[in-house]
Amino acid sequence: MKRSEVFFAASAGLLLLCSGGAALAAANNDPSWPCVQRKVPELSIGQVWNGPDIPEAAKNWDADPKIDDLVGDLAARRNPLDVAQKQVVEFAGSLPKEQLNDKMFMLFQGVFDTLNREREQVISGISRYADKQRDMAEDLRKEASTVDAMRAKPDHDPEELDRLNERLTWETRIFEERVQSLTYVCEVPTIIEQRLYGLSKTIQQSIVKP
């Protein structure tokens, strides 16, 4: 099999992932979005919070050093969710009753702002990554055509053909590894959503209802 045929056989399905596909594009309303997961650029508080209305003052959560530090710990994905939830419970237990709700509202707002921003950054990065993949795919198609055209010439230079073949093989391997990485990265927004929902539920359970 020709090297260019190897490229097309190995990459046909991957190129479909990168270019979207009609059904996927329709589902996402964004033909450039490469992930199976639906593209939701940003979350709303109502999607993850079923508790009392969050007061306006909660937006100043980063003015409280303890809450600011705790938000950083809770948002860090290296911190297991169950450990983070225990931190929420411990923090709530350390607060005077008259401060509990206000502080927990601030904590939720901080977690929401931080994880929602992180998720937006990941989505933006996925889009840029996919754009680069489409450019790489187009370059590989051109290189494969060049290799086939050279091979078809009776007087082609064997050394030059070998050099182009080797480069095409190497660049195709890089392309495929990037597609595999993209598959994993596409899961990250959902992982962030799940973390945000889990933390929101724990915070909400700490709220004292009037």
Domain span at 65:
45-206
First-to-last alpha carbon distance for the chain, in angstroms, is 74
Q: What is the pTM of this model?
A: 0.75
Structural domain includes residue 7:
no
Place of tokens 């419970």: 89
Give me the count of residues in the chain: 210
What is the average pLDDT across 82-109? Answer: 96
DSSP code string of 75-139 = H-TTS-HHHHHHHHHHHHHTS-HHHHHHHHHHHHHHHHHHHHHHHHHHHHHHHHHHHHHHHHHHH
Q: How many domains does the chain have?
A: 1
Q: What is the pLDDT of residue 178?
A: 82
Task: Kindly state whether residue 6 falls inside one of the protein's structural domains.
Answer: no
Within-domain flag for 10: no
Q: Answer yes or no: are the C-beta atoms of 21 and 175 closer than 8 Å.
A: no
- Asked whether residue 173 is domain-assigned, the answer is yes
Is 190:40 a contact under the CB 8 Å cutoff? no
Inside any domain, residue 23: no
Predicted pLDDT of residue 171: 87
Alpha-carbon distances, residue 93 vs 85, 116, 160, 197 (angstroms): 13, 26, 72, 21
CA 176, CA 10: separation in Å to the nearest integer? 8
Is it the case that residue 3 has pLDDT exceeding 50? no
Listed in order, strand segments (DSSP E) in 3-84 are none
Residue 5 is assigned to a structural domain of this protein: no
Query: What confidence score (pLDDT) does residue 19 get?
Result: 43
pLDDT of residue 96: 95
Residue 192 included in any domain: yes
